Amino acid sequence: MAVKILAEFTDPEAADQDFVRVRAHPDPGDDTVTLATIERVVECCGEDAEEAAGSHWHIKTLVLDQPMTLDAAVGLATRYAERKGIPVVYAAPNEPPPGNYLAAL
C-alpha cells in the first residue's frame, strides 16, 4: 500500500478519517537537538443521538518528544502507516513548540 506524505493539514474537515501526524521542534534545552512527536489520529462518531451530530478526534501518541530528525520521524511514521493500512501521513515542517512551551512545563 502506498502512503501519501502531505504537509500538515490546516482544516480538520478536509483531513482523512484515519491518519498519522508527525511534528518536530527544537529541544528547548539544546537547540542542536530536534524532538519528534508521532500521533495516530482517528475521527470518531458518538453512539448516542447528541454525539452523533458531530465528530471528534481520538489521538494516540506513538512517540512523544523523542530526539530524532524530521526525516527519521517521517520514515518511522510511514512504515507504521504502511503496516496499519493508513493512507496518509501529515508532516509539519520543523516548527517551534506550540504556545509558550516553557510556561507549560
Domain residues for the domain of 57 are 4-94
* Three-state SS annotation for 16-84: CCEEEEEEEEEECCEEEEEEEEEEEEEEEECCCHHHHCCEEEEEEEEEEEEECCHHHHHHHHHHHHHHH
Number of structural domains in the chain: 1
Predicted structure pTM score: 0.75
In a domain, 84, yes or no: yes
| Digitized pLDDT (tens) for each residue of the chain, 105 residues in all | 688 888 866 555 556 788 999 999 898 889 899 999 999 998 876 565 555 555 688 899 999 999 999 899 999 999 999 999 998 899 877 655 444 333 332
In a domain, 85, yes or no: yes
The CB-side HSE value for 73 (13 A sphere, CA atoms) comes to 27
pLDDT of residue 54: 59
Rounded CA-CA distance 22/15 in Å is 14
In a domain, 15, yes or no: yes
In a domain, 100, yes or no: no
pLDDT of residue 101: 38
pLDDT of residue 105: 28
In a domain, 87, yes or no: yes
pLDDT of residue 103: 36
